[in-house]
Amino acid sequence: MATPAQAVPPPLPVWVPSGRLARPHPCGESFDAVGVGYFEGICAIGRLGLASAAVIEDAEAGRITWLVTPGSADGWDLPDVVVLGQGRRIYIPPLDPPDTATLRWAIRPDADFLTCPRALYRALVHVTGGRPDARILSTYTSPECAMAEHEVCSKGEVRSTPPDTGVVEEPCVCTCHSTGAGR
């Protein structure tokens, strides 16, 4: 009697340590690391939902850390957010750490271990109360934005949206408006 084929889990990245101990890994090669305080990190995971890939929880330091494409978080300036890039190292927890380990995976890595940096930046702006940088958020520019740097320019005004639509429009942060709403 034939047995059904068992699903083979996707391969793990080679830098995930085998065994039960965390190991250092250089940033800037396979990934950069973006960390934030524990409370803000848990809130950001909630905002990201399924868009969040691998996440490291460091209970001792009180930090949550995402892995992103090398160089994609350069220039982020948000409260309590630390970006570790080229020349820095981060400790990577094993998949099955001891029960007493303070470094573990909040979301385990798989073949798609990198979180989208734009989605992460948006979530971190929201949870830290930081001021968004339109150059980081946008690759598309609105024709009504005089500086061509803002994705959905509303001339510095917040447009009302119907409740329970899931749509949130925020004031423009570009400097092209004389309303004083920009930076």
Task: Report how far residue 117's alpha carbon sits from residue 135's, in angstroms, rounded to the nearest whole number.
Answer: 13
Please compute the mean of the pLDDT values over residues 20-30 and round it to a whole number. Answer: 94
Spell out the alpha helix ranges (H) of 10-128. Answer: 38-48, 117-128
- Sole residue written with tokens 């470094």: 103
* Interval 139-172: pLDDT, tens: 544 444 444 444 444 444 444 555 655 555 555 5
pLDDT at 135: 76
Instruction: Give me 176's structure tokens.
Output: 């092209």
- CA angle, 170 then 176 then 177, to 5°: 65
pLDDT at 54: 95
Query: Which string of b and e fits 119-137 if b means at least 16 CB within 10 Å?
Result: bbbbbbbbbbebebbbebb
* Interval 101-148: pLDDT, tens: 999 999 999 888 999 998 999 999 999 999 888 777 765 444 444 444
Dihedral (C-alpha) 6, 11, 16, 21: value to the nearest 10 degrees?
Answer: 20
Please give the distance of CA 111 from its chain centroid, rounded to a whole number. Answer: 17
DSSP track, 95-114? SS--TT-SEEEEE---S--P
Which DSSP helix (H) or strand (E) runs through 135? Answer: helix 134-137
Residue 63 in contact with residue 41, Cβ under 8 Å?
yes
Q: Global pTM?
A: 0.71
Question: What is the rounded average pLDDT for all residues in the chain?
Answer: 80
Q: How many beta carbons lie within 10 A of that of residue 97, not counting itself?
A: 17
% of the chain at pLDDT higher than 90: 56
* Interval 28-71: pLDDT, tens: 999 999 999 999 999 999 999 989 999 999 999 999 999 999 99
pLDDT at 57: 97
The set of residues, in sequence order, having a beta carbon less than 8 Å from that of 131 and lying 6+ positions away, is: 125, 173, 183
